[in-house]
Structure 1
């Protein structure tokens, strides 16, 4: 058995320098060259550690468009329907307003092909009803005015008759007083004649004459009293006539006003129905125009989401996808929350597009090959579902133009350029897991002062 647990060393018992391999390795000349190599390598590494290194924030994103209206979109139908005819194919170019497909109604209340025309006829009929009610309202207004004027004249006539009756009462009262005075005089004359006849100074004929005159005067007094009572009755009748005229014409005017209000109510109801029908007419016209799905902007048909003929769909269903033909390219990239305070709007970013050969030196962007310049134009203020913050990059006008053959949706890698630090500092930072140095752009303080 081998004694491998002993502390004896093999190189102390066997001289390996006697062998050929040992003679080629163990001599002083190789030690000197290796020491020189180590010294030169140490000096080179020392100078390399002093070289500048640009701190970067890497991100991964994809190509998009600069404004929302230039991005790929789907065309929806605001109404439910059934596909009747396609006018385009996938990949076709369409101008804004071109018809993409034709659909038909699936709701029974819109099946009538002459629905718009018949609604228009209903509007005309209701409009004529409104005109008729307006004429009736005008006629009733005139009738009320005529009744009001007639009431005024009748009341004036009755009031005049009342005044006449009161004046007649006054006249009859005066006549009654005169009759009373006459009967008093006649009574005195009769009494005096009787006395003189008894004394033999007057004849019986005179007495009878005075008696007859007294009786006539009494009859006149009674007739005058009857006449006064008749005059007072005429006053009462005149007052009753005034009340009757007021009640009669109040009833007539009230009835005419009731008819007027009824006509106005019917007029307003007809106007409301006309407005409702006009609203329905406009809705039907717009709905008919929605039966033809048109391109909202110029672009290329990407994909028919709903296909076939006779296929039905609900309102808001996606029918076809379209990519605008005119757009400004941009890159949408994402950075970690810890790096968000280090990026600012207007800063430079290097971009590597998928499919384009590139040699990237993270700390030396000037010697990188195949990358393109970008500039931050928007920074999202709320975190995305992937746990990072979104940045929107536009082409840098001071750099090489982006390739014309890149397409929206392809991938891109980004490097946001930060401060320049020595390589040794960057190695030390990476080994300790520290974030890049926090800094603010030089023009931030100046902008704040201006504000």
Structure 2
């Protein structure tokens, strides 16, 4: 280039000053200085501390299931009659959202509950009637048993009297037999004496009359004694008759009582069934109104307009709860699962919130937020990754108040501090990060603090 410069100056007679400014004889020395400075800086950077980390992405969610978006489903099939809200409205717990109408024939009667209640009242009265019958029959049985005892007691007294009378009649009969035997002897002697002419015919006839009276008296006493014995046997038979007759009546009454109790039990079962129906109809009537389960915002109305038919269990609308304890769910690769544990620190950047992040130098980052792992799921998700739940770190910068459910979140779990050259060498060779924990970390060191936090 210098030869070309001299040739042009010789031929034209002009000196090119621009070439003098471009070509500097000392640029080689300056270049060496810059290269040396760059190499020194590069070597110095290689020995700077680098915080190992695991990157993971996820979204904002909530720690409690009841604070997640709630699907409001139709508990019963019905027809939409009226909407009380529209999408985007904020509602309070207990506010009515939708009114439904029954579509099944079994529930179309507007007085269904009242009519079923009337049937229930009738069945309950029937139970009362059967109860009265059971009580009355029990009273009849008690009266019959009391009457039986009275009759038996009376017959037993009569038997006792007849037994004494039998003894008395037997004594009278025995006396009559003795009188008959005496009269017979006297009659035989009188007969002999009359035939010998010792006594007159008149005396003989008197003795004959006395003899006949003695025979008649003995026969009478015998008959009386035998009749009394017969009365005693009849009285004993009467006791058995009273027992049998009363037993038959009592058994018949008990049969009627058992029948009434059976009818009462059957009616009681019908009453229970009707009570269940009344309760079900009453609860079903209250389910015609879709009620907000908690404070929140109405979104994602699947059904629109009026007179649309909804099936049982079908979602109609969603409610996003107003009060939410936010958390972040992030997903890590199976290879990185052993590097995380509950209590470990995590840094986040949320979508929509400005941030400047240096993953290896978290202290130099701006706009990131701290978190702490509270759960590591042991089951792999459908995306092939493992799910972590992270909550806000109370000792760090508070999370934004404007977070919404589903907001994207990019996180990185902080591990050990290593030199930059080691991290480059590890990544080039595909070695895992240093996740082994020192059981006795140095007191006051950064690793010791991380071990405590883990």
- Mapped to 1, the partners of 2:368 and 2:219 lie a distance apart of 138
Match of 2:225 in 1: 228
Map of 1:415-426 to 2, 5 A cutoff? 415-426=412-423
> How far 1:102 sits from its partner (Å)?
0.8
> How far 1:209 sits from its partner (Å)?
2.3
Number of equivalences: 425
- Mapped to 2, the partners of 1:435 and 1:412 lie a distance apart of 24
SS of residue matched to 2:409: strand
Match of 2:410 in 1: 413
Q: Are residue 53 (structure 1) and residue 53 (structure 2) matched? A: no
Match of 2:310 in 1: 313
Please say if residues 104 and 291 of structure 1, whose CA atoms lie closer than 8 Å, have aligned partners that are also in contact.
yes
Deviations 1:361-416 (A, max 9, x none): 12111111221111212222322111221111112222222223332112111101
Q: Are residue 124 (structure 1) and residue 130 (structure 2) matched? A: no
Match of 1:105 in 2: 102
- Mapped to 1, the partners of 2:416 and 2:165 lie a distance apart of 123
Q: Are residue 69 (structure 1) and residue 69 (structure 2) matched? A: no
> How far 1:136 sits from its partner (Å)?
2.0
2:83 to 82, 86, 100: 86
Compare 289-298 and 65-74 and name the one that shifted more.
65-74
Map of 1:308-387 to 2, 5 A cutoff? 308-387=305-384
- Mapped to 2, the partners of 1:441 and 1:173 lie a distance apart of 124
Match of 1:206 in 2: 203
- Mapped to 2, the partners of 1:236 and 1:403 lie a distance apart of 112
Please say if residues 70 and 324 of structure 1, whose CA atoms lie closer than 8 Å, have aligned partners that are also in contact.
yes
Please say if residues 416 and 435 of structure 2, whose CA atoms lie closer than 8 Å, have aligned partners that are also in contact.
no
- Mapped to 2, the partners of 1:167 and 1:441 lie a distance apart of 117
The Cα RMSD (Å) is 2.7
> How far 1:121 sits from its partner (Å)?
1.7
- Mapped to 2, the partners of 1:282 and 1:348 lie a distance apart of 54
Q: 1:272 to 1:442 in 2, by over 3 A?
A: farther
Q: Are residue 388 (structure 1) and residue 389 (structure 2) matched? A: no
> How far 1:318 sits from its partner (Å)?
0.2
- Mapped to 2, the partners of 1:428 and 1:249 lie a distance apart of 112
Q: Which runs of 5+ in 2 are unaligned?
A: 6-19, 442-447, 449-454
Map of 1:125-144 to 2, 5 A cutoff? 125-144=122-141
SS of residue matched to 1:183: helix
SS of residue matched to 1:237: helix
Q: Which runs of 5+ in 1 are unaligned?
A: 1-15, 446-451
> How far 1:441 sits from its partner (Å)?
8.7
- Mapped to 2, the partners of 1:227 and 1:421 lie a distance apart of 137
Match of 2:153 in 1: 156
Compare 51-60 and 417-426 and name the one that shifted more.
417-426
- Mapped to 2, the partners of 1:313 and 1:442 lie a distance apart of 61
Please say if residues 342 and 440 of structure 1, whose CA atoms lie closer than 8 Å, have aligned partners that are also in contact.
no
Q: TM-score, with normalisation over the residues of structure 1?
A: 0.87
